[in-house]
Amino acid sequence: MLKIRLIQRILSMSKKTKTAFVCDQCGADYPRWNGQCASCGEWNTIKEIRLAPAALEKHPPSSGYAGNHSEVKRLSDVNLSQAERISSGISEFDRVLGGGIVRGSVVLIGGAPGAGKSTLLLQAIANIAARDISVLYVSGEESLQQIAERANRLKLPADKIFMLAETSVERICDVLNDIAPQMLVIDSIQVMYAPHCESAAGSVSQVRESASYLTQYAKQHNVSIFMVGHVTKDHSLAGPMTLSHIVDTQVMLASTDDARYRVLRADKNRFGSVGELGFFAMDGAGLKEVKNPSAMFLNRAETPSSGSVVTVLWEGTRPLLVEIQALVTDCQYGNPRRLAVGLDQNRLAMLLAVLSRHGGLSTASDEIYANVVGGIRVSETSSDLAIVACIVSSLRNKVVSQEAFFFGELGLNGEIRPVANGHARLNDAAKHGFKKAVIPKANAPKNVIPGLTIYGVTTLMEMLDILFEI
């Protein structure tokens, strides 16, 4: 008798669905319910949810499931052709994805509403569908009429794109089982809901569950998925941030200072390099690729002014010319302000300290504003030399030659260190008509670059000596 009861209990245990306790506010999960979320500090936000694998029993993996790891293999025996890529037909988009869309991968496209996520995806899948690759566009936000009108206005071929207006992930997977597309667009993941998850639609745990449900489906059936995720201005919805560990690739579409331009950036990429940038211009006919982004960021004023210097950044796999500006003014009262836009505040403070100690120029009583023109964020140290140069230019109120550009890292002892990809940076600047390069001596090329005079410097002092002489 006891034995039978034990067997019954074991059986009922194995049927029990797995649950998790997830915070609606920040997406943190816990083994049991708590009144307060230890991660974000909110009260009463932890909800019990059923986990996706139980629901996925409804959609068993197809026979050719690539992710079946139960068999031990030699690394050399793994079939490499599984990392097949599909081109989106938009080279800037492919570049950010690491050379096209990997079959069975999940890509999250984040951005503020109106950034152009839906437009970009519609243009990409129109190109893909035109090559007879089946795609399904699931819209939970806009009506099918609205999307059809947009496709019509953008003159995209619409006969090969399948559309579905649906917000339930289970129902979407049912449809996927029927029509078996190779690519799926979910616009947007915030409006999707997983029926097995009890929290309110749009909550973080719903978004997370929906995303992991679709991701499992994608992996098991080798479907590539694009998910659209909105980021609100104040980042109040943690959606895309909690999603980043579920997806393979996360790209962000953002506006630049000039409202026409958009920058696509890879924040996470399992199949390519992060930090890669793609540039687009939004006009009446949708998003157009910008083939020469340096020109887009180098709209310099006609009359040269002090406090403006050009540098060559390295963004992902290519150089990018940007202008850096500085304004140094007397501080009338209180503590002088140090404001950096597009630059790291701490880096600026460090450069000012080096300038004071090794360049003999103290700015302790000045207010300093530094800005990267165009809304680009500089994250590498190669802009150090340019930042210092434009601060000195503003401090002295003297113009730096418009034909000059600067790159190089500044060490704490006032030494100028070489940076990676020096030659490619020089070539790009020369191509854009710059004639004078102030760079680390170690980056000076062995062969002459036509039209370019190289000023190789090893210390901050050497740079300051030639700053207004070139």
Q: How many CA atoms lie within 13 A of 222 on its CB side?
A: 15
Decide if residue 450 touches ligand TYD (CB under 6 A): no
Q: How far is the CB of 146 from ligand TYD (least distance, A)?
A: 9
Q: How far apart are CA 228 and CA 255, in angstroms?
A: 16
Non-local CB neighbours of 344 within 8 Å, separated by 6+ positions: 378, 379
Total residues in contact with Mg ion, by rule CB under 5 A: 1
Q: How far apart are CA 262 and CA 443, in angstroms?
A: 32
Over the range 12-22, which residues count as b (16 or more CB within 10 Å of their CB) and which as e?
Answer: eeeeeeeebbb
Q: How far is the CB of 155 from ligand TYD (least distance, A)?
A: 10
Decide if residue 150 touches ligand TYD (CB under 6 A): yes
Q: How far is the CB of 125 from ligand TYD (least distance, A)?
A: 13
Q: How far is the CB of 107 from ligand TYD (least distance, A)?
A: 15
Decide if residue 349 touches ligand TYD (CB under 6 A): no
Decide if residue 139 touches Mg ion (CB under 5 A): no
Q: Are β-strands 183-187 and 416-417 bridged in parallel, bridged antiparallel, or unpaired?
A: unpaired
Q: Which does 66 bind (CB under 5 to 8 A by kind): Mg ion, ligand TYD, none?
A: none
Query: What number of residues does the chain have?
Result: 470
Non-local CB neighbours of 139 within 8 Å, separated by 6+ positions: 147, 163, 164, 165, 187
Which of 25, 88, 118, 443 is the binder for Mg ion (CB under 5 A)? 118
Q: How many CA atoms lie within 13 A of 305 on its CB side?
A: 11
Q: Which does 197 bind (CB under 5 to 8 A by kind): ligand TYD, Mg ion, none?
A: none
Q: Which is nearer to Mg ion, 55 or 147 (CB)?
A: 147
Q: How far is the CB of 283 from ligand TYD (least distance, A)?
A: 6
For residue 38, give the amino acid letter: A
The tokens describing 280, both together, are 């687009």
Q: Which does 138 bind (CB under 5 to 8 A by kind): ligand TYD, Mg ion, none?
A: none
Q: Which does 433 bind (CB under 5 to 8 A by kind): Mg ion, ligand TYD, none?
A: none
Q: Under rule CB under 6 A, which residues in 274-313 are in contact with ligand TYD?
A: 282, 284-286
Q: Which is nearer to Mg ion, 286 or 422 (CB)?
A: 286
Which of 49, 101, 102, 115 is the binder for ligand TYD (CB under 6 A)? 115
* Contact stretch for ligand TYD (CB under 6 A) within 27-35, 63-71, 108-116, 346-354: 108-116
DSSP state of 414: S
Decide if residue 111 touches ligand TYD (CB under 6 A): yes
Q: How far is the CB of 181 from ligand TYD (least distance, A)?
A: 21
Total residues in contact with ligand TYD, by rule CB under 6 A: 14
Which of 45, 118, 306, 325 is the binder for ligand TYD (CB under 6 A)? 118
Non-local CB neighbours of 6 within 8 Å, separated by 6+ positions: none
Contact 224, 136 (CB under 8 A): no
Kindly give the residue spans of alpha helices, DSSP state H, lying in 262-383: 293-297, 345-358
Contact 195, 219 (CB under 8 A): no
For residue 140, give the amino acid letter: G
Decide if residue 119 touches Mg ion (CB under 5 A): no
- Interface characters, 391-420, with ligand TYD (x: CB under 6 A): ------------------------------
* Contact stretch for ligand TYD (CB under 6 A) within 83-91, 115-123, 168-176, 462-470: 115-123
Q: How far apart are CA 209 and CA 339, in angstroms?
A: 41
Q: Which does 429 bind (CB under 5 to 8 A by kind): Mg ion, ligand TYD, none?
A: none
Query: Residue 41: what are its φ and ψ, rounded to 5°?
Result: 80, 0
Q: How far apart are CA 387 and CA 351, in angstroms?
A: 8
Q: Which is nearer to ligand TYD, 100 or 286 (CB)?
A: 286
Q: Which is nearer to Mg ion, 282 or 439 (CB)?
A: 282
- 188 preceded by cis ω (within 30°)? yes
Q: Which does 402 bind (CB under 5 to 8 A by kind): ligand TYD, Mg ion, none?
A: none
Q: How far is the CB of 354 from ligand TYD (least distance, A)?
A: 42
The tokens describing 147, both together, are 């999307």
Which of 117, 196, 262, 425 is the binder for ligand TYD (CB under 6 A)? 117
Contact 228, 117 (CB under 8 A): yes
Q: Which does 119 bind (CB under 5 to 8 A by kind): ligand TYD, Mg ion, none?
A: ligand TYD
> Quick one: how far is CA 404 from the chain centroid?
31
Among candidate residues 293, 311, 303, the one with its CA nearest the CA of residue 390: 311
Site residues for Mg ion per CB under 5 A: 118
Site residues for ligand TYD per CB under 6 A: 111, 113-119, 150, 154, 282, 284-286
